[in-house]
Chain A
Amino acid sequence: DGGITQSPKYLFRKEGQNVTLSCEQNLNHDAMYWYRQDPGQGLRLIYYSQIVNDFQKGDIAEGYSVSREKKESFPLTVTSAQKNPTAFYLCASSIQGLDEQYFGPGTRLTVT
């Protein structure tokens, strides 16, 4: 059963702690993306990777870091430097950069 999985669905952390969000895909897609969604707003791109061992900053990369050591995995770390980390985080993947992007179910992060 192919798809994109994100875990966990809900995540709670204390302010000042780093936290890593998981994203795995078994679609054999080359490109992967991380978006942030705030209530009542569209999706904003955090980081994206078009190939293993390479990634680029999106529009709101400050306070976040990523790695792409395997084609199937693209974890996102929300660092303590991110000023407003509470949000809904969405991972997506596509065959190539211009093709359809398919989204995972999302992780809702709450930092208090």
Chain B
Amino acid sequence: GENVEQHPSTLSVQEGDSAVIKCTYSDSASNYFPWYKQELGKGPQLIIDIRSNVGEKKDQRIAVTLNKTAKHFSLHITETQPEDSAVYFCAATSYNQGGKLIFGQGTELSVKP
């Protein structure tokens, strides 16, 4: 089955710097890759996603890139702000997974003012 590895587990940046979180997946049939942000004590919130027919997607300060050949995808946050501090999860799934999301282990991002 699918396996998703996420790195780093913790990331600390200065306000205004960029942050990059990387994930690798094992199932070449995976074709949907969402990213979630989870604040303390709350449910995860979908922040951006990408499907396998595109290589990059951007939404304001957030972007996701996908390399299908290498089977990895990354989240890029530019001009980080203290409110970006949270735990970020990547996930992957495909039609033959029945829509079951397989999550990475999470990255705790800390943005220092």
Contacts and interface: CB of A to CB of B under 8 A. Distances in A.
Interface stretch (B43-51, B54-62, B63-71): B43-51
A101 B46 contact: yes
Contact of B101 (A4, A6, A56, A101): A101
Contacts, number: 59
A40 interface: yes
A43 B103 contact: yes
B98 A50 contact: yes
Interface residues of A, number: 29
B73 interface: no
Interface residues of B, number: 23
The A interface, classified by DSSP as helix, strand, loop or mixed, is strand
8 contacts: A42-B89, A42-B106, A43-B103, A90-B44, A98-B32, A100-B46, A103-B43, A108-B41
Interface of A: 4, 6, 31, 33, 40-45, 48, 50, 56, 58, 90, 92, 94, 96-106, 108
Given A98-B94, A106-B43, 14 more contacts: A31-B99, A41-B105, A42-B105, A48-B99, A58-B100, A97-B95, A98-B32, A100-B46, A101-B101, A102-B46, A103-B36, A105-B42, A106-B42, A108-B41
